Amino acid sequence: EDKVVQSPLSLVVHEGDTVTLNCSYEVTNFRSLLWYKQEKKAPTFLFMLTSSGIEKKSGRLSSILDKKELSSILNITATQTGDSAIYLCAVEGYSGGGADGLTFGKGTHLIIQP
């Protein structure tokens, strides 16, 4: 059974701080690891990582995958109050029938204080 563990489960920091969120996984036939930001109902896609050691970057957010360690980190620099959300990590495997659905971690609840 696929498994995703995120840490910390919650984090409170001040505006301007840099945060690092962690994700470790176990998956049969790894295909990709994805990061999402969830503020209300629907998760908003941030990154998809398939190759180890290649950093993906979007503004103040960046992420990297370590397939040897079966883990990924999501960094947010110069945090703003608008970054307050639940950050979800998910992994995608594949079976003979094609891509499997995503297995999600419990998420990191990030709160940015002014």
Give the interface with another protein as residue ranges (CB under 8 A): 34, 40-43, 45, 48, 88, 90, 97-107
At 113, list the tokens. Answer: 């204080």
In this structure, what are the phi and psi dihedrals at residue 104, rounded to the nearest 5 degrees? -100, 150
d(CA 54, CA 18): 20
8 Å CB contact between 65 and 23? no
- Please say which residue, 107 or 110, places its beta carbon nearer to another protein: 107
Work out how close the CB of 43 gets to another protein at its nearest, in angstroms, rounded to a whole number.
5
Work out how close the CB of 101 gets to another protein at its nearest, in angstroms, rounded to a whole number.
4
- Please say which residue, 45 or 80, places its beta carbon nearer to another protein: 45
